[in-house]
Structure 1
Amino acid sequence: MKNICLIGHGMMGIWHSEALQGHPDVRLHTVVGKDLQSVSAFAEKYGFANASNNLLEAVNQPDIDAVIIAGPSESHAAMSMAVIKARKHLLVEIPLSMTVESAETVVEAAERANLALAVSHPMRFRPERAALLQRIQRGEETPRHIHGRFFIHRLVNIGATGIKRTWIDNILWHHSTHLVDLGLWLVGGGDPEKAEKRIRNVKSFMSALDPHTGTPMEIVILIETHDDQTLLATGSYYGKERIYDTHVVTEKDSYRLDELTAKLTTGAGTEETITEQENAWAISRDFVNALNESRAPLVTGRSVLPVLRVLHKVQAEWDSQHGTQDIPGRPLVQLQQPVM
């Protein structure tokens, strides 16, 4: 029986809680958030035994076995280090961190402590992609072009729960992480580092700071490999039509997955697949099962470093044009003491 502590109770906190409710090997022990009243209400609704607004006290409870971090993106690295210091296994929501340097620090610290470090990269969990990956690994298909799109209207910082948040997304270090990682993972046949070594060129555009939000709102990333494969990620926070999909083209077929409608279109037609929420449930369940089976989780911390190194190049190009600076949702220092 694993005692689980959850940090954060937004949309992903809800989905992780739903996934582990009724799991025979899980006790939902403690949920942590800033406002004790709302955290207590969440604990009662989803079956946590305890609620807390003190992160360090919560994760250092001796009977906690593992921690799921679903707080604001810019807090992930600092929260991860606090959990590692408490010597607990951890599952971190995407992104692991918003600088490559702090991500490397987290990965190395977890490995030195012999702790499991899983990262929530949901696009690697989809069952239809598992079948495609197996064909790629067997040499039956080769990705030629992979295009991921994320368009949403986010001039006001309201998240998926419909509640106005005190923090803001980052189009490069949050949403582009999903899309670029998928491309590297498939091109590398399940090994993003292998794909990273084959990169010939990375080209990018990221807009200047929007005067209302203070963040870049548009992005294009184009990656070329030495094998003439292309990975493309595009997105905008100005988009009135919400779009979240990926299109994988091989020499034999194409696979366009609409994450929002849960529909997969191939050369054979369109079929329904599992929802984004159902897919997310697999992440926390894999984490718990990995701990029980003494194996590595499906997505390890080290396996996500290649995508963060690519994003680092894009950020460095933007910094050279606009100046290195703190922006809302992405402070330059990621390893400050966690607040909560």
Structure 2
Amino acid sequence: MLNVAIVGLGYWGPNLLRVFDSMDFCVVKYCCDKDDGVRHTYQQLYPRIVFLSEFEVILNDPDVDAVVIATPVPTHYFFAKQALSSNKHVFVEKPLTLEIEHAIELTELAEQKQLTLMVGHLMLYHPAIEWLKKIIIDGELGQICYLYSQRVNLGRLRSKENAMWSLAPHDISVALYLIGKNPNSVSANGYAYLQPDVEDVAFINLTFESKMAAHIHCSWLDPHKIRKMTVVGEKRMAVFDDMNKEEPIKIYDKGFSAVDDDKNRLISMPYVRFGDIWIPHIPAEEPLMRECKHFLDSIINSTNPISDGRNGIDVLTILHQAQDSMLQSQALSISYE
């Protein structure tokens, strides 16, 4: 039985508390938050858990196996380093840190101490994304040409991070997972309408080897709530719609087919091929439940999580280059640690 401590009960922390508290093979021993009112509220809901404001109590308790960090992004590095230095496994919400150097330091520290460091790239644990990855590996879509995503809504407005930093980590992590490679260049544009120098909308273009590409559109200034990704392959196309809980995946058996005419090699233009639309059954499992279970399984089995520190570094590297691309108004190459 693993003992877990949760740090931060703001926006996302209560969801992590709910899920970890529901699991059979872990116990939430502590919850830490500096807000007295927040602690009082959740103490009524979870009376057996110790709620406190002093993080040092968690660090000094040898019975605590893992620390789950859901604090504001600028504090991720501080809390994660303290926890790893105290020999605790660490789950930290995305992004891993603000600075690449800090992410590298945390990853190397976890590797040195043989501890699990996992980043909350939630969408990697969505059963539909896992299913989509499998059919890509199996060649059902053919060679991937490109993919594009939309993650837009009206709100939730942030003042300390722009829409790209708030929303794009989800789709960047999924793009890397599905394509199976890191991009070698990025170009990005962002526009601030509501607050000075805080972009409300961003468009990111990632270029991979073999002419593969990904386009990511994220915004909190949009009349629609859309969470959708389209993957275009040479054989078939797939659409993942996270807002459609009943039918999150649709496979379109359509595209272009080459002309096979031995008598007339001058005819080389492909023709449009229309086929069926296939809607597979995807288990209705909560991604957050799967993500938290994966973290605990990684600790128990001493295996690397899918969204480990190295994955967190890659996503963070792309975000930084995309931010620089916005500022410089030009495409930039990406080098990885």
Short-chain TM bin: 0.7 to 0.9
1:180 to 149, 153, 172: 172
Looking at structure 2, the residues matched to 304 and 156 of structure 1 have their Cα atoms a distance apart, in angstroms, of: 24
Describe the shift of the 1:210–1:272 C-alpha distance in structure 2 as closer, same or farther (beyond 3 A): farther
Secondary structure of the structure 2 residue equivalent to 1:227: helix
- Opposite residue 128 of structure 1, the aligned amino acid is A
Partner of 1:227: 210
Q: How far did residue 260 of structure 1 move?
A: 2.9
Q: TM-score, normalised by structure 2?
A: 0.81
Q: How far did residue 60 of structure 1 move?
A: 3.0
Q: How far did residue 41 of structure 1 move?
A: 2.4
Describe the shift of the 1:137–1:281 C-alpha distance in structure 2 as closer, same or farther (beyond 3 A): same
Looking at structure 2, the residues matched to 288 and 155 of structure 1 have their Cα atoms a distance apart, in angstroms, of: 30
Looking at structure 2, the residues matched to 183 and 169 of structure 1 have their Cα atoms a distance apart, in angstroms, of: 22
Looking at structure 2, the residues matched to 9 and 221 of structure 1 have their Cα atoms a distance apart, in angstroms, of: 31
Looking at structure 2, the residues matched to 56 and 174 of structure 1 have their Cα atoms a distance apart, in angstroms, of: 29
2:235 to 252, 268, 271: 252
User: Counterparts in 2 of 1:199-278, with a 5 A limit?
Assistant: 199-207=183-191, 209-210=192-193, 212=195, 214-262=197-245, 263-267=248-252, 268-270=277-279, 273=282, 278=286
Could you tell me whether the CA contact under 8 Å between 1:264 and 1:270 is conserved in 2? yes
Q: How far did residue 142 of structure 1 move?
A: 2.8
- Opposite residue 51 of structure 1, the aligned amino acid is F
Could you tell me whether the CA contact under 8 Å between 2:148 and 2:229 is conserved in 1? yes
Q: How far did residue 77 of structure 1 move?
A: 2.0
Partner of 1:121: 121
Describe the shift of the 1:41–1:155 C-alpha distance in structure 2 as closer, same or farther (beyond 3 A): closer
Partner of 2:151: 150
Gaps of 5+ in 1: 158-166, 189-194, 322-340
- Opposite residue 298 of structure 1, the aligned amino acid is I
Partner of 1:281: 289
Could you tell me whether the CA contact under 8 Å between 2:147 and 2:230 is conserved in 1? yes
- Please report the RMSD computed on the Cα atoms of aligned residues, expressed in angstroms: 2.4
- Opposite residue 303 of structure 1, the aligned amino acid is N
Looking at structure 2, the residues matched to 39 and 4 of structure 1 have their Cα atoms a distance apart, in angstroms, of: 17
Q: TM-score, normalised by structure 1?
A: 0.80
Looking at structure 2, the residues matched to 170 and 89 of structure 1 have their Cα atoms a distance apart, in angstroms, of: 30
Partner of 1:304: 312
- Opposite residue 238 of structure 1, the aligned amino acid is L
Looking at structure 2, the residues matched to 303 and 156 of structure 1 have their Cα atoms a distance apart, in angstroms, of: 27
Looking at structure 2, the residues matched to 240 and 272 of structure 1 have their Cα atoms a distance apart, in angstroms, of: 30
Instruction: Show structure 1 runs of 4+ deviating over 4 A.
Output: 269-275
User: Counterparts in 2 of 1:24-103, with a 5 A limit?
Assistant: 24-46=24-46, 49-103=49-103
Q: How far did residue 99 of structure 1 move?
A: 2.6
Instruction: State the identity %.
Output: 22
- Opposite residue 224 of structure 1, the aligned amino acid is T
Gaps of 5+ in 2: 253-276, 330-337
Secondary structure of the structure 1 residue equivalent to 2:229: strand
Q: How far did residue 261 of structure 1 move?
A: 3.3
Secondary structure of the structure 1 residue equivalent to 2:210: coil
Deviations 1:230-278 (A, max 9, x none): 1110112211222222122222322222223323232225567566x81
Describe the shift of the 1:111–1:43 C-alpha distance in structure 2 as closer, same or farther (beyond 3 A): farther
Could you tell me whether the CA contact under 8 Å between 2:150 and 2:227 is conserved in 1? yes
- When Rg is computed on C-alpha atoms for both structures, the one with the higher figure is 2
Q: How far did residue 88 of structure 1 move?
A: 0.5
Describe the shift of the 1:57–1:74 C-alpha distance in structure 2 as closer, same or farther (beyond 3 A): same
